[in-house]
């Protein structure tokens, strides 16, 4: 018999601040790069056009994790979140179930953390402006993380009222136009990936873009030819070359595995990141289960008082 703790979204956010999330995700990328934390590629169960389900397992830090999570882009129009589900955490030695966490909060914390970590790591050290495009759950998480890291950020969304609400909630700016947001030194894109934001020739020298939205088949936030013009880094080659921005560029033979850096190797100091001030860098994120594990482990180390346990 086990008695796992159950953490609601609110309890996950109370346990793990954006600053803690950045450090946890940094450590997870490095541990994954070193082979200490492992994960098979996520499995997509598709029900398009409605959406898809993802099963994401990982092992590390004395725990095993499974995230069962969705991406249903039409949900906000129904008053439902795009991303929802559950994270299960087990003890890696005994197999005992230790925790159930609301998956949307875990996802938002680690997605915001990865977007900002990549921007800080790959962007120019003298980057002055930052923007987030897409003011949904995960775009707001990226903006919140920028703010928590002490950076001023402007947010933009197709739906101006969403951008205004996010700015009021997070204490950030609203970009005056889409073009202004796209021109920031550090850009994070977190849209559903139905529209290419960066067409061919649109990025300028020295910019960095963390491409977070196109995390599955058929989505894109950047033209494949434009991606190929940049120094690309990914979170995981297997995932990104099959379901992210890179999938389009690899299919078109514009990029191959050897052209693409890995964020974990850069963070571990085993591979170069940005090599010149003029270089354009991009981070193709598909979202890794080891990032979720990082947030879950951080939450378990800070279980808020009053959290409920269930008997199984």
Question: What are the catalytic residues?
Answer: 67
Q: Of 138 and 281, which CB lies nearer to ligand NAD in the complex structure?
A: 138
- Of residues 273 through 302, those in contact with ligand NAD by CB under 6 A are 285-287
Segment near ligand NAD (CB under 6 A); pick from 35-43, 92-100, 133-141, 269-277? 133-141
| CA-closest candidate to residue 285, choices 229, 258, 246, 230 | 246
- Of residues 82 through 111, those in contact with ligand NAD by CB under 6 A are 82-83, 107, 111
The verdict on 158 binding ligand NAD (CB under 6 A) reads yes
How far apart (Å, rounded) are the C-alpha atoms in residues 207 and 199?
15
How far apart are CB 65 and ligand NAD at their closest, in Å?
15
Q: Of 35 and 79, which CB lies nearer to ligand NAD in the complex structure?
A: 79
Q: Nearest residue to ligand NAD, using CB?
A: 136
| CA-closest candidate to residue 42, choices 66, 25, 21, 26 | 66
- Of residues 246 through 275, those in contact with ligand NAD by CB under 6 A are none
Instruction: Dump the DSSP string for 205-254.
Output: TT-EEEE-S--STT--SB-HHHHHTSEEEES-HHHHHHHSHHHHHHHTTS
The verdict on 145 binding ligand NAD (CB under 6 A) reads no
Residues that bind ligand NAD (CB under 6 A): 71, 76, 82-83, 107, 111, 133-139, 157-159, 162, 190-193, 195, 212-213, 215, 285-287
């Amino acid at each position: 018999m086990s008695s796992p703790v159950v953490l609601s979204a609110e309890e996950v956010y109370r346990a793990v601040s954006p600053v803690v999330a950045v450090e946890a995700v940094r450590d997870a990328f490095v541990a994954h790069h070193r082979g200490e934390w492992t994960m098979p590629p996520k499995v997509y169960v598709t029900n398009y056009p409605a959406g898809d389900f993802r099963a994401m397992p990982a092992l590390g830090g004395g725990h095993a994790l499974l995230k069962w999570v969705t991406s249903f882009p039409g949900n906000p129009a129904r008053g439902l979140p795009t991303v929802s589900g559950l994270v299960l955490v087990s003890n890696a030695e005994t197999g005992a179930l230790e925790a159930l966490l609301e998956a949307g909060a875990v996802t938002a914390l680690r997605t915001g953390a990865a977007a900002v970590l990549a921007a800080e790591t790959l962007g120019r050290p003298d980057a002055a402006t930052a923007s987030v495009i897409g003011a949904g759950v995960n775009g707001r998480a990226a903006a919140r993380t920028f703010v928590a890291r002490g950076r001023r950020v402007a947010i933009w969304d197709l739906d101006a009222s969403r951008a205004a609400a996010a700015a009021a909630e997070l204490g950030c700016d609203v970009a005056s136009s889409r073009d202004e947001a796209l021109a920031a030194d550090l850009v994070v894109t977190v849209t559903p990936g139905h529209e290419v934001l960066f067409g061919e020739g649109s990025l300028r020298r020295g910019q960095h873009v963390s491409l977070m939205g196109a995390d599955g088949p058929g989505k894109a936030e950047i033209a494949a030819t434009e991606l190929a013009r940049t120094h690309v880094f990914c979170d995981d080659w297997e995932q990104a070359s099959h379901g992210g921005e890179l999938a389009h560029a690899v299919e078109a033979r514009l990029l191959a595995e050897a052209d693409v850096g890995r964020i974990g190797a850069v963070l571990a100091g085993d591979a170069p990141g940005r090599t010149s001030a003029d270089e354009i860098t991009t981070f193709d994120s598909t979202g890794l289960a080891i990032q979720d594990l990082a947030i879950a482990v951080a939450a378990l180390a800070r279980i808020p008082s009053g959290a409920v346990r269930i008997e199984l």
